[in-house]
A and B are shown apart, each in its own frame.
Chain A
């Protein structure tokens, strides 16, 4: 029986524990299970599938380097999300300060379907400032509370709330064609 088949039924916490001991097959299974979720999160943040995949890959590699230090293997998901958000924030800082990340141009790789709600949502999100985008995505895409977002990003709770309020308003205006229902939208 191959490692993939062997680990396909194993719980994530156990896989994280095994990966912490250097088991690459266990880590591969973790990547397989978490890749779609993490890449989608990064796409919402970046509006650029290529960059999003690069940052998701960076986060996974960072996870592999440090998974031995993960105290609670059951919290692999939140820990990975923290690594990914940190990678994105570092990318923004590299490009310039967070404020200069406003209005990024969405980029779609060749062959990507650029139509549809998902792409429109990414485009609309890309019109928000970096901090607004981060807070809105974590609130609506990840379903995180204000306190959780504050803890993850290091922003004060009041700032998180105002970013979400402003971002929500702008996003609703940008996505007004979908105001009837997502299915009926253009």
Chain B
């Protein structure tokens, strides 16, 4: 179907064009914008306060959890009778090193399989 428009209606719409004066419209919109900005600020303060409160409540348990995980990561995989080899191999002989190695291997495998 053609996109033709009725010329009579087209001219009527064109003749009905009028510029609307700003009057209070722009200031009403900007008042709304200010109100939104104030609410956004109140929301941000509320979220920040909630985060601080959560941090205060959860700080000690979170610290304990981190300490426990760190301790677990440093557990030796192989136990030596003599202290010297145990001390020398400590940087490699632990759960963290094994996990790191596993990650490196997985990454290499992924690159090989999906180049």
A residues in contact (CB < 8 Å) with B? 24, 27-28, 31-32, 35-36, 39-40, 53, 56-57, 60-61, 64-65, 117-118, 121, 139-141, 145-146, 161, 168, 171-172, 175, 178-179, 181-183
Contacts and interface: CB of A to CB of B under 8 A. Distances in A.
Interface string B1-25: 1010110111111011111111001
A141 B15 CA distance: 11
Contacts of A181: 11
Interface residues of B, number: 28
Given A32-B22, A53-B25, A161 B9 contact: no
Interface stretch (B26-34, B90-98, B105-113): B26-34
A53 B15 CA distance: 22
Given A61-B36, A140-B13, 15 more contacts: A24-B30, A24-B34, A27-B33, A28-B30, A31-B26, A31-B30, A36-B19, A61-B33, A64-B36, A65-B36, A117-B16, A121-B16, A140-B9, A141-B13, A168-B9
A168 B6 CA distance: 8
Of the candidates A31, A40, A171, A172, the one having the most CB atoms from chain B within 10 angstroms of its own CB is A31
B33 A39 contact: no
B18 A179 contact: no
A182 B12 contact: yes
